Amino acid sequence: MKRRLGGGSLLLGLTLGLCGTATAAPTVVLEPVGKISGPVDMVRAQGDRLYVSAHKTFTIYDVANLSEPQQKGSYEFPEEIWNFRLDRDRAYVGANFFGLGILDISDPATPKLAGSHKTLGQAKVGAAFGSKIVIIDHMEGVVVIDASKEAEPSGLGSFFVDGYARDVLTSGSIAYAVDSPSGLYVFDLSRSGPLEPLSVLHAPGTPNSIEITAPSHGAARLCGPGGGNLQIYDVSNPAEPLRASTFVTPGRAHRVSINGDLVYVADGAAGLQVVDITNPVAPSLVATYPSARPARDVSVAGSHVFLVVGDSERQGNDREIVILRIAGLE
């Protein structure tokens, strides 16, 4: 790793290994190119758009020009936003006791509520498969709703997990949900009948949030921060998920984002860690970015990294987003 200070910017040379014996490993540089002021709790990137939650407010930015991000529209929920996921022109927002909010984000200047569904407890997040949306709720566990009539979603059933429901995502028809302290639950949303897990894996340090490799990118791997470290699962066979390894990070892992075989870890006071999971049984640290303040969240889109940094553990008022360009990937 090479560091160079100059002109008020920090350049980190990151050497990433490539497969093949005759190919030299390229040098990839993470270059800070901009910032977005807070407040901010969570961030997700999709194309030239950046989606940010801060307490009750969901905000969209245009980041086509990284040096001058433009704030577009916003939407305020009546309750705190716990988490959200994106699916093309929709955002599925877990807004505490309000329930699940389905936001139409097709026009970034005017995001609007397309539908909502009230769960029994505190909704944390939603993820979609076709007209079905799966929700994490503290009282009901994993909840599936029918959103074929988006303005009036209706419940299809639920499954009560053993612990404290934390996060859910979908990859095709498969939904992955995690609870605290120890469970990964896998559901096939294409099945009819009562909601029952296809498989359950109990292991210490289950992630409190999860991300998965793109369906087109080789074997399916699911990752997330658990027990302060990076937990890595092989979910190539959803009926038999395996804990591949635990990668001990130098800080305390908060959230992750996956780009190809690289996992970007917001690692608290240790900044950003970049971990290669090409071999999930033996992951390796390939780069670090020492942020000036603790790293709280991260999202990667193409050749750009959006890193949420701030001193507060739970409140986003003092946080900001540091925008990094990954040179060599453009």
CB atoms within 10 A of CB 192: 5
The Cα-based distances of 329 to 14, 166, 275, 302 in angstroms read: 12, 33, 17, 8
What integer pLDDT is reported at residue 7 of this predicted model? 34
Of 288 and 218, which is predicted with more confidence?
Answer: 288
What pLDDT is attached to residue 304? 93
Residue 255 lies in a domain: yes
209 located within any domain = yes
In a domain, 15, yes or no: no
Give the end-to-end CA distance of the chain in Å, rounded to a whole number.
20
Quote the pLDDT of residue 10.
Answer: 33
Among 47, 305, 33, which Cα is nearest to 297's? Answer: 305
Task: Please tell me the total number of residues recorded for the chain in this structure.
Answer: 330
Q: How confident is the model at residue 224 (pLDDT cuts 50, 70, 90)?
A: very high
Please give the structure tokens belonging to residue 301.
């889109």
Mean pLDDT along residues 27-31: 69
Mapping DSSP to helix (H, G, I), strand (E, B) and coil, where does residue 251 land? coil
CATH code, 104 = 2.130.10.10
Distance CA 146, CA 66 (A): 38
Higher pLDDT, residue 327 or 110: 110
Structural domain contains residue 326? no
User: Lowest mean pLDDT: which of 22-36, 187-201, 208-222?
Assistant: 22-36
In this prediction, residues 45-62 reach a mean pLDDT of 97
| Residue 121 belongs to a domain | yes
* pLDDT (tens digit per residue) in 192-201: 889 999 999 9
Question: Largest alpha-carbon pair distance within the chain?
Answer: 62
Q: What is the pTM of this model?
A: 0.90
pLDDT value at position 328?
60
> How far is Cα 277 from Cα 17, in angstroms, rounded to an integer?
12
Whether 25 maps to a domain, the answer reads no
* Better-predicted residue by pLDDT, 65 or 308: 308
- Reduced to 3 states (helix: H, G, I; strand: E, B; else coil), residue 100 is strand
Predicted local distance difference test score (pLDDT) of residue 329: 54
Q: Does a structural domain hold residue 184?
A: yes
Task: Name the 3-class secondary structure at 284.
Answer: strand
Q: What is the mean pLDDT of the chain?
A: 89
Tell me what the mean pLDDT of segment 84-102 comes to.
Answer: 97
pLDDT (0 to 100) of residue 204: 85
Mean pLDDT, to the nearest integer, of 283-297? 94
Kindly tell me if the per-residue pLDDT of 218 is higher than 90.
no
pLDDT of residue 182: 81
Which one has a higher pLDDT value, 307 or 303? 307
- Overall domain count for the chain: 1
Examine residue 291 and state whether it is found in any structural domain, yes or no. Answer: yes
CA–CA separation, 304 vs 296, rounded Å?
A: 17
Tokens 């497969």 — which residue? Answer: 19
Is the pLDDT at 327 greater than 80? The verdict is: no
| pLDDT exceeds 80 at position 12 | no
Average pLDDT over residues 102-117: 98
Report d(CA 38, CA 53) in Å as an integer.
Answer: 10
Q: Which residues pair with 159 in a beta bridge?
A: 142
* 33, 49, 186, 201, 277 from 325: Cα distances, Å: 7, 15, 35, 37, 21
Q: How far apart are CA 67 and CA 124, in angstroms?
A: 33
pLDDT band at 316 (very low <50, low <70, confident <90, very high): confident
Answer for the pair 208, 226: CB distance below 8 angstroms, yes or no. Answer: yes
Q: Residue 147 is part of which domain span?
A: 36-316
Q: Select from 148, 153, 119 the least CA-distant residue to 136.
A: 119
| Structural tokens at position 197 | 């897990």
Q: Check residues 287 and 134 and name the one with the higher pLDDT.
A: 134
Tokens standing for 157?
């059933």
Helix runs in 204-292, H state only:
none
46 three-class SS: strand
Assign 317 a pLDDT band (cuts: 50, 70, 90).
Answer: confident
Q: Are the C-beta atoms of 102 and 150 separated by less than 8 Å?
A: yes
More confident residue, 217 or 132: 132
Q: What percentage of the chain carries pLDDT values higher than 70?
A: 89
Token duo for residue 79: 């309750």
